[in-house]
Amino acid sequence: MRVMAQVAMVMNLDKCIGCHTCSVTCKQTWTNREGVEYAWFNNVETKPGIGYPKRYEDQERWKGGWELDRKGRLRLRGGSRTQRLLSLFANPDMPSIDDYYEPITYDYDTLLSAPAGEHTPVARPKSLLTGEDTAITWGANWEDDLGGAPEHAPGDPNLEGIREKVKFEFERTFMFHLPRLCEHCLNPACVSACPSGAMYKREEDGIVLVDQDKCRGWRMCVSSCPYKKVYLNHVTGKAEKCTFCFPRVEAGQPTVCSETCVGRLRYLGIVLYDADAVTAALSVPDPEDLLDAQRALILDPHDPEIAREALAQGIPHDWLEAARQSPVHALISKYKVALPLHPEYRTAPMVWYIPPLSPVLDAVTAVDGDSSDPDDVFHAIRDLRIPVEYLANLFTAGDPEVVAGVLMKLAGMRGHMRNRSLDGTVDQGLLDSIGLTAEEVEDLYRLLAIAKYEDRYVIPPAHKEDAARLAGLETGCPLDGEGGPGMGGEAPGRGAVSLSLSAPPRKGVKR
């Protein structure tokens, strides 16, 4: 067992109001320069919708993430090393600017310098790429608030198999917001696909970064990322991506998107995982088993044996304590209400989501049920406005039972707290049906509904005394180790391990 620490995030989609504050503050902080005008390291998509870039979830088209070969071993969906080298200069799986959108500005000078006249001057949109007049036809969230749903939402890949169930009429369809950023995966396809070794996953906290000195702009990271969260700076010719605000995280502060989130829907914390078990966990044949396999990778920091092993392998004591207090670990492993985005990509994403719970009382009433009867409430879960099957295609590789179980826990929590507020009673049958005690339900409620700042963000500061040790490690792609999914030879760092994912901090990274 090799115990490693990972900074992870959970988002409660019930609280996202689609205000895009997270996107704007991230844009101002990290992409306010020439060459990345089209890039949104954090964006908020409206579902159903085809997303940004267009239909990024269709891996039959884009060939992102991992798949199993005939022998059941992990391999990049984009092909072998030879196949990728042959497509360095003409990559058929690379999204074009039309799949993102053409960034624009406006001809403001017309407004400022136009002489007095009969007609009001107009500031026409101009392309930031060519400087010519252009038409605005797409954006990072074109479907926002159902603005484009009738035209584009039927193309959402997650609607496969349930299109007949979803009616795209304004009064009948559904909508929710999905914030997205780099998943900082345990098994990042972008790291393994990078020919120059510029993409790397930090050993100390699992954040995936790009070494700008090593990047040669081959763009294999862009096409290999199934979430399409790596962007090419068309001015510098180098790849850029979400950095998980590592300078803030190193100082024990939350990411900018978390700090400025109006809905307080984001949770940040440390989880411990077994790096030696990643390859086997992500090689299970049935995609529906990947969620349980990924959860099994996350270790219990309260287990004395795990704690001893973590300390013996260099995990600082305060990081171990932070893992014990982590809201992320509680939501993922203890209460099991958080789910990963598209686990079938086999990257083991570390940004998880609590699925949105549609108005339960409306659904219960619609079937002539009793909102105080847990049987009626749980029966109505299947009839919610947001189809369980749609959420399953997003978060559980198509298994609706898992999503229904999460929604039942959330509905049960609401029912229990309603009873406590009205008459102070405890419905033991309700608690038994969701598999939680009254104390656990109330702890979950405090975490999801009224958690304070220090409860939502448990981030230990970096240990600068480790800088010399980390800087002494060799560089390279540790996915290329013996028994791992990479396609090279010896793994760097601490010997040949299947998924050590070790990489030294680059220039400007303090540890």
Question: 111 vs 506, which has greater pLDDT?
Answer: 111
Give the pLDDT score at 117. 84
On whether the CB atoms of residues 455 and 447 are closer than 8 A, the answer is: yes
Give the pLDDT score at 141. 83
CA pair distance 219, 202, nearest whole angstrom: 20
pTM of the predicted structure, to 2 decimals: 0.88
Where residue 152 falls among pLDDT bands split at 50, 70, 90? confident
Give the three-class secondary structure for 65: coil
Give the pLDDT score at 468. 54
Q: What are the tens digits of pLDDT across the range 54-97?
A: 999 999 999 999 999 999 999 999 988 888 888 888 888 999 99
Q: Which two tokens stand for residue 390?
A: 């749609």
Q: Where do runs of H (alpha helix) occur along 203-275?
A: 220-224, 246-250, 256-259
Among candidates 2, 123, 14, which has minimal Cα distance to 360?
Answer: 14
Among candidates 505, 482, 502, 507, which has minimal Cα distance to 492?
Answer: 502
pLDDT over 50 (residue 492): no
Where residue 507 falls among pLDDT bands split at 50, 70, 90? very low
Give the three-class secondary structure for 272: strand
pLDDT over 90 (residue 336): yes
Q: Which residue has the tokens 């109330």?
A: 442
Give the pLDDT score at 171. 65
Q: Which amino acid is at 470?
A: L
pLDDT over 80 (residue 276): yes
Q: Residue by residue, what is the 3-state secondary structure of 93-115?
A: CCCCCCCCCCCEEECHHHHHHCC
pLDDT over 80 (residue 375): no
Give the pLDDT score at 165. 79
In this structure, of 129-133, 196-200, 370-374, 481-485, the range with the lowest mean pLDDT score is: 481-485
Q: Beta 74-76 vs 66-68: how paired, if at all?
A: antiparallel
Give the pLDDT score at 101. 92
In this structure, of 137-146, 207-216, 484-493, the range with the lowest mean pLDDT score is: 484-493
pLDDT over 60 (residue 475): no
Q: What 8-state DSSP symbol labels residue 38?
A: T
Residue-by-residue DSSP string for 173-221: ---EEEEE-----SS-HHHHH-TTS-EEE-TTT--EEE-TTT-----HH
Whether cis (ω within 30° of 0) applies to the bond prior to 53 is yes
CA pair distance 251, 460, nearest whole angstrom: 8
Q: Which residue has the tokens 């109001």?
A: 17
Instruction: Name the burial class of residue 57, with classes exposed (0-12), middle (13-18) and buried (19+) by CB atoms within 10 angstroms of its CB.
Output: buried
Return left, alpha or beta for 331; rule: phi > 0 is left, psi -120 to 50 is alpha, else beta. alpha
Give the pLDDT score at 169. 73
What's the rounded mean pLDDT across residues 453-470? 80
Percent of the chain with pLDDT over 90: 64
Give the pLDDT score at 486. 44
Average pLDDT of the chain? 86
Give the pLDDT score at 151. 79
Helices 388-395 and 400-422 pack at an angle, to 10 degrees, of 120
In this structure, of 82-96, 177-191, 276-290, 433-447, the range with the lowest mean pLDDT score is: 82-96
Q: Which CATH class is domain 284-456?
A: mainly alpha
Give the pLDDT score at 506. 39
Radius of gyration of the chain measured on its C-alpha atoms: 24
pLDDT over 60 (residue 493): no
Where residue 470 falls among pLDDT bands split at 50, 70, 90? low
Q: What are the tens digits of pLDDT across the range 300-311?
A: 999 999 999 999
Q: Where do runs of H (alpha helix) occur along 313-383?
A: 317-324, 327-329, 360-366, 374-380
Q: What 8-state DSSP symbol labels residue 345?
A: G
Give the pLDDT score at 391. 94
What's the rounded mean pLDDT across residues 273-294? 96
Q: Which residue has the tokens 């959970």?
A: 10
Give the pLDDT score at 374. 60
Give the pLDDT score at 140. 86
pLDDT over 70 (residue 465): no
